[in-house]
Amino acid sequence: MENSMKITIKDVADLAGVSFKTVSRVINNEGSVKPDTLEKVNQAIRELNYHPNNAARNLAGSRTFSLGFIYNNPNAYYVIDMQNGILDECREKGYELLIHPCEGSDESIIDEIRRMVKRSQLSGLIICPPLSENPHMMAQLSDLDIQFIRIVSGSEEPGQSASPCVLIHDREAAETITEHLIAQQHKKIAFISGEKDHRSTFERQQGFINAMQRHQLLVDPTWLIDGQYSFDSGVKGAQQLLALSNPPTAIFACNDEIAAGALFAARLNGVKVPEQLSIAGFEDSPFSRQTIPKLTTAAQPTRDIARQATNFLIRNIVAQRQQTASKIISHQHYLPKLVLRDSTQALAPVQR
């Protein structure tokens, strides 16, 4: 390991049989290297365990090789997966990462971000929901001289802003989950939401409503429960539903943590899942795999999405540095996939 500290970019060039400048292009992710040459250089980097000296790179000019991850999301699983996905891509591309939690409702947040960007000489920012979905905040952020990428729930960006983003098709995925429950002969389906300041809450609830209306099924207002993205919210919401004189036969929870809470509430009330009540979640978080039974859900691999967003951002930074604006990407899309597990099953016929 000590020898790896002495490895230089020239050593990589010699092993790969290419020029010093070619290795520099690969390290800086400039995108102008042929695929076979790129593979030779990356192989040499791996064999030599070479790590770019970011301090030297940053001192070489005004360009920096550091990114910032800004979040105000209270979901620990989500934030950790985001961090790991961003770090995966940063390590591969030779970038450093600054992680910056913040309070989204703080009016001074833009000044806080501006100071952070200047102090740390960041090249770009990755911003996740719900902060990334605040149009007022994003309009102010656009005034800063920095590239950024947002992760946003929806199939199209609210307000049709030109700022780059990764769009998560939550509504379409929620329709698929609801269609699955309907195909299992459930007609009385409830929905427990997350916080209203998350666009994912609106998108997932709208997908649920769309599927129900498409099959001309009643969306009973008493089966639409306002909640939060938490286990306790799932417990309270399910208890409220199970106490109704006409309770639902299935619950679609806005995320897996809520669904796990609903499953716990069903057990407390002596209701068997899935025999008497089907429960589905969303996101395919660890909660969905740690329950008994495991939860039917929609796979939204946050780590992969974060890595994709970071790759997207770095490519845009490189395009800007090379003054090739035509290569700057505006939007990418991701559709969560249905994952069938044991928490849902066909509704048993009514005994007469």
**Helix 20-27 crosses helix 35-48 at what angle (to 10 degrees)?**
90
H helices present in 189-335, as ranges: 199-214, 231-242, 256-268, 286-290, 302-321
Are residues 200 and 154 part of one domain? no
Are residues 39 and 114 part of one domain? no
Are residues 311 and 294 part of one domain? no
Segment of 107-111, 141-145, 222-226, 322-326 carrying the highest mean pLDDT:
222-226
Tell me what pLDDT residue 53 has.
61
Q: How many domains does the chain have?
A: 3
Tell me what pLDDT residue 121 has.
85
| Residue 61 resides in a domain | no
The span from the CA of 303 to the CA of 300, in Å, is 9
The span from the CA of 301 to the CA of 116, in Å, is 29
pTM of the model: 0.79
Q: pLDDT-derived band of residue 115, with 50, 70 and 90 as boundaries?
A: confident
Q: CATH number for the domain including 224? A: 3.40.50.2300
| Residue 122 resides in a domain | yes
Q: pLDDT-derived band of residue 74, with 50, 70 and 90 as boundaries?
A: confident
| Residue 347 resides in a domain | no
Q: CATH number for the domain including 39? A: 1.10.260.40
50 three-class SS: coil
Query: Contact 244/269 with Cβ under 8 angstroms?
Result: no
Q: What secondary structure letter does DSSP report for 283?
A: B
Percent of the chain with pLDDT over 90: 57
- What does the pLDDT average to over 268-278? 97
Longest dimension (CA), the chain: 82
| Residue 342 resides in a domain | no
| Residue 348 resides in a domain | no
Are residues 194 and 293 part of one domain? yes
Are residues 181 and 164 part of one domain? no
Give the H or E element holding residue 172: helix 170-183
In this structure, what are the phi and psi dihedrals at residue 186, rounded to the nearest 5 degrees? -80, 130
The span from the CA of 209 to the CA of 204, in Å, is 9
Are residues 109 and 98 part of one domain? yes
Are residues 266 and 187 part of one domain? yes
The span from the CA of 31 to the CA of 268, in Å, is 57
Handedness of CA 210, 212, 214, 217 (dihedral sign): negative
Please compute, for residue 334, the number of CA atoms within 13 A of its CA located in the half-sphere on the CB side: 21
Q: Could you tell me the CA-to-CA distances from 302 to 234, 289, 307 in Å, in that order?
A: 21, 15, 9
Are residues 185 and 162 part of one domain? no
Query: Contact 351/276 with Cβ under 8 angstroms?
Result: no
Say if residue 7's pLDDT is above 90: no
Tell me what pLDDT residue 158 has.
55
Say if residue 177's pLDDT is above 60: yes
The span from the CA of 104 to the CA of 71, in Å, is 8
Which residues lie below 8 Å from residue 86, measured CB to CB, with a gap of 6+?
Answer: 67, 69, 97, 126, 306, 307, 309, 310
- Of the candidates 291, 298, 294, 277, the residue with the CA atom closest to the CA atom of residue 346: 277
Final residue of a domain: which of 275, 300, 325?
300
Q: Could you tell me the CA-to-CA distances from 300 to 174, 297, 337 in Å, in that order?
A: 12, 9, 7
Print the domain residue range for 105.
66-169+301-336
- What does the pLDDT average to over 120-135? 90
Are residues 210 and 241 part of one domain? yes
Q: Could you tell me the CA-to-CA distances from 43 to 31, 48, 131, 200, 314 in Å, in that order?
A: 17, 9, 39, 40, 21
Segment of 14-28, 35-49, 64-78, 202-216 carrying the highest mean pLDDT:
202-216
Are residues 292 and 188 part of one domain? yes
Cα-atom radius of gyration of the chain, to the nearest Å?
A: 24
What digits encode the pLDDT tens for the residues 187-227?
999 999 999 989 999 999 999 999 999 999 999 999 999 99
Tell me what pLDDT residue 280 has.
98
| Residue 44 resides in a domain | yes
Final residue of a domain: which of 300, 317, 346?
300
Are residues 76 and 107 part of one domain? yes
Tell me what pLDDT residue 39 has.
86
Are residues 287 and 184 part of one domain? yes
Q: Could you tell me the CA-to-CA distances from 83 to 46, 89, 91, 128, 180 in Å, in that order?
A: 23, 10, 12, 11, 32
| Residue 231 resides in a domain | yes
| Residue 319 resides in a domain | yes
Say if residue 160's pLDDT is above 60: no
Say if residue 59's pLDDT is above 80: no
